[in-house]
Amino acid sequence: MKFVSRDLDKLKTLLSSDDQVLVTTHIRPDPDAIGSVLAIREMIKQLGSEAHVILEDECPPRCGFLPGADEILTLSETKNTQRYKAVVIVDAGDRGRVGDVERLISTSAEIVNIDHHSSNEHFGTLNFVYPDTAACGELLYFLIKALSIELTQTLATNLYAGLVTDTGRFRHTNTTSRSLQVGAALIDAGADAAAITDHLYYDIAAQDIRSIGIILGSLELHGRGEVSTMLVKLDQSIEDPDHVVDFARAINGVEVAALLSEMKDGKIRVSMRSKARVDVSKIAESFGGGGHVRAAGFRMIGTLTEVRDKIVPVLLKAVKDSSA
């Protein structure tokens, strides 16, 4: 993978500067987001500077085993009124995705944007945006090499968590031979593949398994069965929506699956997955969200059924247009 050498020089200078560096990611962080902020924190340490990882939301329980996870601060925990002049934002397609962490960022800050979303808005003063990488974990592997940083076991573990999650355990279409090569290199560097996958996918709260049963029961097929939806009420919300949305997409004949989840703020979160043809990132962008070609999301005001009724025709049309 090729980087612009001037960008690498700038990155190295920034990450080794005397300024404390704020490292953050998107709200409702997933394992690629958490693994990546923790990896960047270690990279900055290795380069001789200090990093503060501050997120709007808490680290999800399934990521608690990742090395350094206990060093993550949430906004409400930090008494910080400091405004950072050096900031790294990772795994976020637009700046708004960092949520209220925005208030810790100085207006004159140098912002490094490290990301792999096809919808990325290049909002940084320095941008490392590579939509052809499956995960920020994959992208960071190459940055680590390019910056001559030592690939420790803890770095490898954090990067592997992102790679295994964002590739859907090496099943999605974003899984390239390069993703597998990076996975192999991370295992060689000490990542315990089986243990990481177990922590992330097979350590589920019993309550979540019960909720999964209810959510699966909410399945509806639309049109001639090319669009599927599932609805999640607030009291049925589960830690990892991938468990159910994967089933909604796996149904034969389905091209686009949407999981609609009630959130505490009254909005509905829409998680979309497509099988082969529809670019769900474009649909998400049209509703103010973003994501990847085969996995994207947005939020909308309304009830579960109102939002379903609003988006189903859009999804049916997108499927129709894609097969024209």
Selection from ligand AMP, Mn ion, none that 295 binds (CB < 5 to 8 A by kind) is: ligand AMP
104: which 2 tokens? 């810790």
Round to whole Å and give the CA distance between 117 and 136: 9
**Toward ligand AMP, which CB reaches closer, 157 or 274?**
274
30 touching Mn ion, by CB under 5 A: yes
297 touching ligand AMP, by CB under 6 A: yes
Which helix (H) or strand (E) segment holds residue 35: the answer is helix 31-46
**Toward ligand AMP, which CB reaches closer, 20 or 176?**
176
Minimum distance between the CB of residue 158 and ligand AMP, rounded to whole angstroms?
Answer: 18
Stretch that binds Mn ion, among 28-36, 187-195, 242-250, 290-298 (CB under 5 A): 28-36
196 half-sphere exposure, CB direction, 13 A CA radius: 26
Minimum distance between the CB of residue 126 and Mn ion, rounded to whole angstroms?
Answer: 19
CA distances in angstroms from 133 to 155, 165, 182, listed in the order given: 18, 13, 11
Q: Lay out the site mask for Mn ion across 161-200 (x = CB under 5 A, - = otherwise).
A: -----x----------------------------------
Q: Is 282 exposed, middle or buried (0-12, 13-18, 19+ CB in 10 A)?
A: middle
296 touching ligand AMP, by CB under 6 A: yes
Minimum distance between the CB of residue 135 and Mn ion, rounded to whole angstroms?
Answer: 5
Ordered strands of the 267-274 beta sheet: 220-222, 227-232, 256-262, 267-274, 295-301, 290-291
CA distances in angstroms from 102 to 94, 204, 306, listed in the order given: 12, 32, 31
**Toward ligand AMP, which CB reaches closer, 192 or 208?**
208
Point out which residues pair with 301 in neighbouring strands.
267
Selection from Mn ion, ligand AMP, none that 299 binds (CB < 5 to 8 A by kind) is: ligand AMP
Binding stretches for ligand AMP (CB under 6 A): 26, 93, 97, 117, 241, 271, 289-292, 295-299
Binding stretches for Mn ion (CB under 5 A): 30, 32-33, 91, 166
